[in-house]
Chains A and B, each alone.
Chain A
Amino acid sequence: MSILIYIQQEEGKFAQSFLELASYAYALANQTGGTVTAFVAGGAAESDIKNLGNYGISTILMEAGSSGQPFDNRSSAISIASAASALGATCVLFADNSSSRAIAPRLAVKLKAGYVSGVAGLPLKIEPFMVRRLVFTGKASASIEILTPVKVLILARNSWQISENQVACSIEQVNPAAGLPIPEFEVVKVTGQTGAVRLQDAEVVVSGGRGLKSGDNWGILEELAESLGAALACSRPVADEGWRPHQEHVGQTGKVIAPNLYIACGISGAIQHIGGISASRVIVAINKDPEAPIFQFAKYGIAGDLFQVVPQLTQAVKKLKS
């Protein structure tokens, strides 16, 4: 099995999700007796890119810098398809992020490949090729068979341990595929998003709901988040009321996240919210109502006044870290 993985870098560094992807691909290659090639979208120093060798990647295709162009999933799909065809890749893997969700479906059509997103764990079987994913927004899981010779997969967030496997690593420069279409759109403005830690990538998330009573009370959560190096999130009513920016809304019609630790403060646990967090490794709930539904989904809980408990938790965390 020839495996191609799509990796993005930022100033020569790789986000956790890409190291997970590399580790997963290495394990998949071992499972199938295959090889892994990484396709890295260009524009960084080779010495930085070579770090992928620590995670089991022996061959890297580096697309010569086309940074400066706006992200156009159409072109990216063409480039990756071209690399995949040249390689005879039977499996193309992506980490879960907004670019992957834009590129992978287009790529699947180009390669006439079966597509599964949210893949959790290594394939259950190789012949026929079967993977598992969560469905019904985390309420169940499904075993899915891919019927085509080529497979396109997006891994589920935070579902694979990063493992270091040092191998010798060679880099091949690749020129952009011929005949890439000129983007038929124009990026008029770019705004960076606020927040020190990106919610989608954060390992720890501190989240607040209506129990906070007002956006003015978010200080205690901000302090807790800071002590933990956590990202901030919120429930839907909080975003709707304008207490917090809508980018922080986690839930069925917000973001779906999968951090290692999710601390829900003053959130009752409506099923739509649970849909956004059920893949978290550990959920902690702090709510004054011991009957709140969130406690049915949490691993640990405190039935108490969050205005007392949260500052105490911050103190305890600071004590631990010092």
Chain B
Amino acid sequence: MKTLVCLSIVPDTTTNIRFTGKMDALDTTGIQWIINPWDELALTRALEIREQAGSGVTQVSVIHVGLKESDPVIQKALAVGADSAFRVNYSPADSMEVALQIAEVIKKDHYDLVITGYDSADYNGSATGGMLAELVGWTSFTSISSLSVSDSMITLERESDNLTETIAAKSPCVLTIQKGIAKDPRIPSLRGIMTARTKPLTVIEPSASDPGTRILTFENPAPRSKCRMVDPSNVDELVNLLRNEANVL
């Protein structure tokens, strides 16, 4: 079975998010780019499964839609163990374009399992997986908290707001994963880092696509008001404030 993990590349969590003067684009100066944390967990799980004897998963590839500045980050996926990487050479305006580009790649090659993360830490859309599935006509499962593959048979746990369903699924399918899928992302071994360059990173020219949305401007959040400190010996005052001032009790 061949697995494809879709990677989004986002600013590191601790980055101060700033926008350009016209407030219409992210100010990328000094930004540390990382693999989207959810996608990293998806990749970790895919690699764990590939390493399990008898899983039936023989290949884990990654795909990213972006420009060549992303290559060093994609190398990290190769360093932790992905077998090959693809980059569609295009700067997508929204999730629809990402899905359209990846769909064209999936249509040309055979994959059994395509995995995306719950959302990406930049635009938090939660859309790519579902859109991709619809474009290629596959079944999709979202909110997947557990994935196992044994002898090419896929078992999932899907969480809705109050239930957990254990599902026996057929390939091919698209999964959107969430918390629980893997514990910690992998730290690449030094050998993995040194050999990442020997693994294929194929650049694919984009297909035609149209975005469904575009971002016009960004706004910084309104400055937070200072925290109102309440004396620990006067807890009643807090309850008072919550009821009468904040109206949340």
- Chain A residues packing against B (C-beta within 8 Å): 70-74, 77, 97-99, 101-106, 108-110, 112-118, 130, 133-148, 183-193, 198, 200-201, 203-204, 228, 240, 246-247, 249, 252-255, 260-261, 271-272, 275, 281-282, 284-285, 290, 295-305, 308-309, 312-313, 315-317, 320
Contacts and interface: CB of A to CB of B under 8 A. Distances in A.
A285 B232 CA distance: 12
Interface residues of B, number: 80
A315 B236 CA distance: 9
A145 B213 contact: yes
A249 B164 contact: no
A97 B228 CA distance: 33
Given A118-B124, A252-B13, A105 B129 contact: yes
B229 interface: yes
Given A71-B165, A73-B140, A240-B183, 10 more contacts: A114-B212, A130-B216, A137-B13, A140-B221, A147-B212, A190-B164, A272-B13, A301-B228, A302-B230, A308-B232
A141 B161 contact: no
Given A140-B219, A317-B249, A108 B212 contact: yes
Interface stretch (B1-9, B65-73, B80-88, B166-174): B166-174
A147 B211 contact: yes
A283 B28 CA distance: 31
B198 interface: no
A208 B219 CA distance: 32
B167 A204 contact: no
A54 to B, nearest CB: 23
16 contacts: A71-B165, A74-B139, A102-B142, A105-B129, A112-B212, A116-B125, A137-B121, A139-B17, A147-B213, A184-B169, A249-B179, A271-B13, A290-B229, A301-B227, A302-B229, A316-B239
A98 B159 contact: yes
Interface of B: 11, 13-14, 17, 19, 37-38, 41, 94-96, 99, 121-131, 133-135, 139-143, 145, 155, 159-170, 173, 176, 179-180, 183, 210-221, 224-225, 227-232, 235-236, 238-239, 241-243, 246, 248-249
Contacts of A137: 13, 121, 124
